[in-house]
Structure 1
Amino acid sequence: MQRSLISFIFIFFLLYACRANQPSSLPNIVFIVVDDLGYSDVGYMKQKSKIHTPNIDLLVKEGMVFTDAYASAPVCSPTRASLTTGKYPATLKLTCHIPGMGMEKYLNKLNKGKKLKEAYFLDHLPTEEVTFAEVLKEHGYVTGYIGKWHLGGEGSIYTKDGIVNSAYHPDKQGFDVNIGGCAYGQPKKYFDPYQNGTIQDRKEGEYLTDRLGDEAVNFIERNKQKTFFLNLATYTVHTPLAAPKENVDKYNGNKYFAMIEKLDQNVGKVMAKLKELDLLKNTMVVFYSDNGGLWGNPPLKGKKGTLYEGGIRVPMVVNYYGKIEPGSSCHVPVTSVDFFPTFIELAGFSVSNYPQVEGQSLLPLFYQKGHFPDRAIYWHFPHHRKEGLSMGAAIREGDWKLIKEFETEELFLFNLPQDLGEKINLSAKYPAKSRELLRKLEKWQQKVNAEMPEVNETFNTNDAIELCGEINVPLK
């Protein structure tokens, strides 16, 4: 009897071990989130002739490009919080980038001479928020975060290593592995030694983008027999602009173009590893940027920090061999809140278990079948920027986009298919459409209890005259 029991236990563990060494039937997910990469800062857009991104272009050739993909904010932290939780930044109370200089210094600087003060916002992602990593980990995924987090507290530039409060790091939000994720919104250095407490220095002079690419490849290699979710969040192409000399020389001193080349090389490195391990057929790869670019986004108007298209429309490509039609494109507007339900549904779990999620699963668009609902998407950005129209809120529904500027209460209405560059404000020509969209926008703001800017008591007449001269509107 005892011998039979021992034999049974031995066979059971043998079968379990064999099963454990077999690749899972659940899909792997690789989510590449680039920092500050503009809509036209990729080769396939053919807007900047000196930009060459053959590996990213190959993703387009073998997958689906989204022409109307948006970030949920024109700056980084809100978008990153939004895509991780499936909630809009206004709902999370995290609508602005978390200031490296510290909250008090930031607000004093940005509010000076302004009619309205910036609205309240959090300086971290609360740990009680449910992230897609926590859900996937709960269902058997190995989860890895490699790169920029920027959701872990304010005042990072005054730290020696980017750690303000480690309780808010990725490993406390469902990620088994965290390499690089701390409070930094930009790297203190792009070359080793990195002065980042979540990256162990390895070789002096090593380039950060290459290092994060190596870590991504190592994560895939270590977990090739498991089901994994990898979030590769490059610090590239955020300032300070820096790249290896040979790359900079190749572009006649243009560090930005050199950084994009290094980004592309490391995207290629990740894809090559997936191919080498025969994982491509069971891995969805998503390439995305967290907000508009800083260095011009033709044919769009504006750049990072604005509610014009150049601040919020971003490159996005999805690759899933055998599931997504190669060389296809989608023109349906999508945004950051859609990633949480997409990844959860892709893994075979019910999004209905997470009623807090405000996005829609994109799988019907990926597979070009099933129903994807008509809807509006929203932005709430009660913060000042010098780059153009900011301090406001926006809605896009169908072809139409409305922006409301908070200080002047001016409305801007655009028909995007007809005027992608947002050159003609149609609010006076189509007042009924403006009122309709404004009602929807304000109803949504009320629903999510959006934080609103307040009157700046230090604002005076001289400031008002200067302000009106800057934005070319009459003083009200």
Structure 2
Amino acid sequence: MFRMNLWPLALIAIALSACNGSSQTNDDHTATEKTNIVLIMVDDLGYSDVGYMNHKPGINTPNIDQLAASGMVFTDAYAAAPVCSPTRASLMTGKYPATVKLTCHIPGMGMEKYMDKLSEGQKLREGYFLDHLPLTETTVAEALKEQGYTTGYIGKWHLGGEGSIYTKDGIVNANYHPEKQGFDVNIGGCAYGQPKSYFDPYSNGTIEDRKEGEYLTDRLGDEAVRFIEENKEGPFFLNLATYTVHTPLSAPEATVEKYEGNKYFAMIEKLDQNVGKVMDKLNELELLENTMVVFYSDNGGLWGNKPLKGKKGTLYEGGIRVPMIVSQPGKIKAGSQSAEPVTTVDFFPTFLEIAGGAAANYPGLEGKHLQPLIYGKGGFEERAIYWHFPHHRKEGLSMGAAIRQGDWKLIKEFESEQVYLFNLRDDLGEENNLSAANPEKRDELLAKLEGWQKEVDAEMPAKNEQN
């Protein structure tokens, strides 16, 4: 059943050298070769939706598992929001969604209709948010282009305007597409939050139909391989943003049959095959050692995230903690692991510093570069990370804000003003609210969270006058 790949064989010698000594750093930014960067951003992939986590029997991800074995697994990685568009905006800008004023997914049904629908019967009305990524924001792609990188965006963008379901091709305003935000290539990126079809014809104005019945995940994998081939002399930055595993659940019939009708598991297998396709190409071109590959998800999974509580749309761990792998054989120690909390805002400064740039030249960045963790050199100071989500969701605890620092996490719900305090080291499932038992820690984190909200001028929900 498993698809055999070439790239794991090439990893063995490289990985052994990394394991036999301390992790090497990638400090030689002035060398003739700059590090290529491949970011694989999956849509709605849950914390336990990968084989290496060993939480869901039947998940088949040999290529992703090999990627994890070849590099560093981050056990406490977070998305900047429990839904997709804000995480994507955060990735592009290196800022928290609250700072960018894009805190919720951009609705395909249109902003006004969405706000009315979600606010109906609620004490508070949905907080204000933008329907696109402003062109005034400097993106990570624009910063990397200044360092000489060729940039490619392949897949889901969802930062290009409201009301995509009323379009025939997903294009609401092409001025908000990736090619206007620093990407040399855009294939698939438009206003769609989910594909109109997972099979060709795609009804996507940024993908040329090629062969009727072709599967979208395979097509995007092919396009990623082509981009790598065409830019093998480097340096390049490739953001492969799969539409899978977002609804509507859909996969080739033969793959679905292998899983006795489980379309979700079938979609994950197709995702894995295309991760393998990308890694095969990097191996074939002898680029593995000079390419950092990052595997990540834009928010928690929709179909269960054990042992975490909650799912996509909630501020519980299941809505925001995601799988994350960083691999660069020979530079990052194979089989390594980090439990340091990291989040979306960290990617911009990390990629920039790896490319030879300086995060200090972009004073708006709100994350930290992760080289000390990734390459095993230097310290990494504990810091707080934040979420601001003034939006109603049916999945559970939402319409609130959260902070994590060290082992502690605090959530404040806006409608009830109830405060939840959890020690994640002892209570990963967030079952025991320690707010009353530990008022000092509660007040400390609450003050820090509210101070941050004021600092970034976070948009707050207003009283719902419809009630």
Shift of 1:226: 2.3
Shift of 1:84: 1.0
Q: Match for residue 83 of structure 2?
A: 75
CA distance in 1, matches of 2:378, 2:362: 21
Counterpart of 1:296 in structure 2 is 304
Does the 8 Å contact 1:24/1:225 carry over to 2? no
Q: What's 2:373 paired with?
A: 365
Aligned to 1:192: 200
Q: Which residue of 1 aligns with 2:432?
A: 424
- Aligned partner of 1:452 in structure 2 is 460
Structure 1 gaps, min length 5 = 1-22, 460-476
Which residue does 2:121 correspond to in 1?
Answer: 113
State the secondary structure of the residue aligned to 1:87: coil
* C-alpha displacement of 1:24: 5.3
Equivalent position SS for 1:80: helix
After TM superposition, list the pairs within 5 Å mapping 1:172-187 onto structure 2: 172-187=180-195
Structure 2 counterpart SS, 1:379: strand
* Pair 1:407-2:415 in alignment: yes
Inter-partner Cα distance in structure 2 for 1:425 and 1:395:
15
Answer yes or no: is 1:256 the counterpart of 2:264.
yes
1:37–1:237 Cα contact (<8 Å) kept: yes
Contact in 2 for aligned 1:62/1:319 (Cα 8 Å): yes
Q: Secondary structure at the match of 2:322?
A: coil
> Partner of 1:324 in structure 2?
332
**Aligned equivalents of 1:252 and 1:125: distance in 2?**
41
Give runs of ≥4 in structure 1 deviating > 6 Å.
none
Residue deviations 1:141-182, cap 9 Å, x none?
110000000000000010000000000000000000000000
Task: Answer yes or no: is the 8 Å Cα contact 2:155–2:188 preserved in 1.
Answer: yes
Q: Distance in 2 between matches of 1:426 and 1:374?
A: 22
Tell me which amino acid in the other structure corresponds to 1:434: R
The aligned runs of 1:216-295 (5 Å cut-off) are 216-295=224-303
Equivalent residue number for residue 162 of structure 1: 170
* Deviation (angstroms), 1:297: 0.2
**What corresponds to 1:151 in structure 2?**
159
The one-letter code of the counterpart of 2:179 is D
Is the 8 Å Cα contact of residues 147 and 356 (structure 2) preserved in structure 1?
A: no
Q: How far has the Cα of 1:348 moved from its partner? A: 1.1
Separation in structure 1 between the aligned mates of residue 133 and residue 243 of structure 2, nearest angstrom: 19
Deviations along 1:60-99, one digit per CA (max 9) or x if unpaired, are 1110000000001000000000011100000000000000
* Number of the residue aligned with 1:17: none
For the pair 1:101 / 2:109, whether they are aligned, the reply is yes
The answer to whether structure 1 residue 206 and structure 2 residue 228 are counterparts is no
Mapped to 2, the partners of 1:306 and 1:207 lie a distance apart of 31
Partner of 1:303, secondary structure, is coil
Correspondence for 2:33: 25
Q: Does structure 1 conserve the Cα–Cα contact (< 8 Å) formed by 2:131 and 2:160?
A: yes
Structure 2 partner of 1:309: 317
C-alpha separation in 2, matches of 1:76 and 1:169: 16
Q: Provide the C-alpha distance between the structure 2 equivalents of 1:226 and 1:259, rounded to a whole number of angstroms.
A: 31
Paired residue type of 2:442: S
Match of 1:437 in 2: 445
- Are the counterparts in 2 of residues 24 and 227 from structure 1 also a CA contact under 8 Å? no
Counterpart of 1:209 in structure 2: which amino acid? T
Which residue number corresponds to residue 384 of structure 2? 376
One-letter code aligned to 2:437: K
Query: Deviation at 1:371?
Result: 2.4
The superposition leaves residues 415-459 of structure 1 with CA deviations (integer Å, 9 ceiling, x where unpaired) of: 001000001111011111111100000000000000000000122
Question: What's the TM-score, normalizing by structure 2?
Answer: 0.93
Q: Which residue of 2 aligns with 1:85?
A: 93
Contact 2:34 2:234 in 1 (8 A): no
Show CA shifts across 1:104-159 (max 9, x none). 11011000000000110000000110011001112211100000000000000100
Contact preservation (8 Å) 1:27, 1:282: yes
Q: Report whether the alignment pairs 1:64 with 2:72.
A: yes
One-letter code aligned to 2:434? L
Question: What whole-Å deviation, never above 9, does each CA across 1:289-311 have from its counterpart, x for those lacking one?
Answer: 00000000000000000000000
Paired residues of 1:72 and 1:78 also in contact (CA < 8 A): yes
Residue 74 of structure 1 aligns to which amino acid in structure 2?
P
Give me the CA root mean square deviation.
Answer: 0.8
